Amino acid sequence: MSNSGGPFLVHPDGQRKRTWAFVMTLCHSRHQYVEFVWDQTVATWLGCHRRAFEWFAGVPERVIIDNAKCAIIKACRFDPQVQRSYAECAEGYDFKIDPCPPHDPQKKGIVESGVKYVKRNFLATREFRDLADLNAQAQAWVLQEAGVRIHGTTRQQPMDLFALERALLKPLPPQAPDLGVWQCVTLHRDCHVKFDHKLYSAPFALVGKELWLRATDSCVALFGDYRLVATHARGQRPGQRITTPDHLPPKAQLFFARDRQWLNAQALQIGPYCQQVIDWLLSDRILERLRAAQGVIGLAKTYGAERLELACRRAMAHNSPYYRTVKTILSSNSDRLPMPEHSVAPTYAKARFARDAASLFTPDPHNPQQDLLH
């Protein structure tokens, strides 16, 4: 079995890219499975194996490979290191991995000759519209031409010999193994690891430590010290951040728990003027004022809801609905003073955009603390 370069085709992203040929050849019959793919990633390698075994309707006892990086981490004549994902695949389908010795092309034998035959007799004589057309033609070619030719070594047709060899293949498992890609990752300071251009959270106590990530088509699992520490549904778009709130530090959990919905609910309990201040802060189109809104609601813990409502009323009367303004009013006890005669009614539009016509006071918007005692 081997991977080899294929023709250049137009990728779905609009660019012309090289394809790669995955070729699995049975040693006795020389019957083949041929598939062209866009990359040589571990996930693609495992998927090709699954489809090849389903093509043959069985699993060989031993799979000889040519030390592809997606299968063998370190090639060695005596102690090759198998990629963890591929080892799991071999265990699931019950076959043995037999890497060819490095720098010894004579040992590759059938592996290399099968690839050369595909290049010379299939790719050299055809044209293809896209990857789907390429693979459709490859499967038809295997069944209608390569499979019925008189093989140069066996002097028989591969399909005829395959009818005998099929009985010697191991049966497919009753349920296809859940093939997963394993990767060693490090948990960053934001409590997330990066995999396939997506971010997944893990408990903050593991920040800076190496974890093992196992990804399937639908799930991503994280392991630390051989125990499962996090499970997520697999992300669907690049840059997607998938977070479990319990994985964050307590302060971060508290910050994210106090979202806009929570703030609006708290402001509703305190009073209409507090609602106006929170609404103004959260509706700012230029600056994100979520922390400021959280700070305003947090003042109720120190000064009480009644005083906070009075402070928000005075801040709205002066057209200065800022956290610093509300806090200054409370710390200076200005909320206990009587409201000026020109104060406005608690209507949002008036408080936010305009002063009462009778008002002679025009505060400086760049100085929210100006004349708070008026």
Structural domains of the chain, with CATH = 2-168 (3.30.420.10), 181-247 (no CATH), 258-353 (no CATH)
3-state SS, residue 129:
coil
Give the pLDDT confidence score for residue 87 in this predicted structure: 95
Give the pLDDT confidence score for residue 113 in this predicted structure: 80
Q: Which residues contact 312 (CB under 8 A, 6 or more apart)?
A: 270, 271, 273, 274, 276, 277, 296, 321, 326
The amino acid at 197: H
Strand 2-10 relative to strand 32-37, pairing: unpaired
Cα gap 31→202, rounded to integer Å = 46
Give the pLDDT confidence score for residue 357 in this predicted structure: 36
Give the pLDDT confidence score for residue 349 in this predicted structure: 41
Q: Which two tokens stand for residue 67?
A: 């030390």
Q: How many CA atoms lie within 13 A of 232 on its CB side?
A: 27
Cα gap 186→205, rounded to integer Å = 13
Place of tokens 């948990």: 187
Give the pLDDT confidence score for residue 338 in this predicted structure: 87
Q: Are 41 and 70 in contact (CB under 8 A)?
A: yes
Cα gap 293→323, rounded to integer Å = 7
3-state SS, residue 248:
coil
Task: List the beta bridge partners of residue 18.
Answer: 8
Give the pLDDT confidence score for residue 339 in this predicted structure: 81
Cα gap 372→333, rounded to integer Å = 11
Task: List the beta bridge partners of residue 5.
Answer: 20
Give the count of beta carbons closer than 10 Å to the beta carbon of residue 225.
9
Cα gap 357→338, rounded to integer Å = 20
Give the pLDDT confidence score for residue 108 in this predicted structure: 66
Give the pLDDT confidence score for residue 345 in this predicted structure: 47
Phi/psi of residue 132, each to 5°? -65, -40
Strand 241-242 relative to strand 198-201, pairing: parallel
Give the pLDDT confidence score for residue 102 in this predicted structure: 83
Phi/psi of residue 257, each to 5°? -70, -30
pLDDT digits (tens, 9 = 90+) for 233-276: 999 999 999 999 899 998 887 777 778 899 999 999 999 999 99
The reply to whether the predicted model has a pTM over 0.75 is no
Give the pLDDT confidence score for residue 347 in this predicted structure: 47
Ranges in the chain, pLDDT < 70: 1-3, 105-109, 111, 341-374
